[in-house]
Amino acid sequence: MKDFDPTKNHPMVGVPLDKLKPKPVRKKLDLTLWEKLYVPEVLRGLGITTKHFASNMLGFVVPPKGKKRKVFTVYYPEEQVVLPPAYRGRPVLVMRPDGTEKCVACGLCEKICPAHAISIVGAERGDAERYPESYILDMSRCVFCGYCEEVCPKEAIVMSSEYQGLAEKERSQLLYSKERLLRSEESVRGRIEYIRRIYSKCNY
């Protein structure tokens, strides 16, 4: 899977990702008369979908020359998708440079998880710092909502861009232990910077 450079134009977004600003949520939405009519907006949506469908189909019939392709499909697995940081793949635990987990076993992610996918057993180190002695994430239950990431006070769990290896023959193989979940902070740097921008917005 390719990593992205946030200072360069993203192939799907068209602008550098670090220039993207979250759009404010319109909470009190006053629909125009045109929007209230409903059907024109449905037709507009269908038009956009048809446009992308046609451009992707044309891309297959007439293979694009060079790298400047206009289609959004890729020849997977020979070509790998460059995912935007908003993508929510497998939740992973973040590791400090010394190899220890950032998680302090506060249990907030376990509490908020709507799928009851997280089970934590906390413990204390010699210096009274808390850590998860056991952290189990059941990927057969996870619905990739991102609540665990959003609630974590330590940026210790983030939604990575990992989408491979999510299907297994045995359910037991979808039980991820702490050791299987730990990733270096550097490998999820893009997502951490993204959630700092997103979660600090004043929509709450």
Sign of CA dihedral 123, 129, 135, 141: positive
From the CA atom positions of the chain, what is the Rg in Å? 21
Q: Is 181 an interacting residue with respect to ligand SF4 (CB under 6 A)? A: no
User: How far apart are CB 120 and ligand SF4 at their closest, in Å?
Assistant: 6
Q: What are the CA-CA distances from residue 70 to residues 17, 33, 78 (Å)?
A: 19, 35, 18
Q: Is 104 an interacting residue with respect to ligand SF4 (CB under 6 A)? A: yes
User: How far apart are CB 88 and ligand SF4 at their closest, in Å?
Assistant: 7
User: How far apart are CB 142 and ligand SF4 at their closest, in Å?
Assistant: 3
Q: Are 83 and 109 in contact (CB under 8 A)?
A: no
Q: Is 108 an interacting residue with respect to ligand SF4 (CB under 6 A)? A: yes
End-to-end Cα distance, the chain: 34
Residue 59 or 146 with smaller CB distance to ligand SF4: 146
Instruction: Return the closest-CA partner of residue 148 out of 182, 106, 178, 190.
Output: 106
* Residues in 140-179 that interact with ligand SF4 by CB under 6 A: 142-148, 151-152, 154, 156-157
Q: Is 109 an interacting residue with respect to ligand SF4 (CB under 6 A)? A: yes
**Under 8 Å CB-to-CB from 61, ≥6 apart: which residues?**
none
Residue 13 or 151 with smaller CB distance to ligand SF4: 151
Q: Could you list the residues that contact ligand SF4 (CB under 6 A)?
A: 91, 103-109, 113-115, 117-118, 120, 137, 142-148, 151-152, 154, 156-157
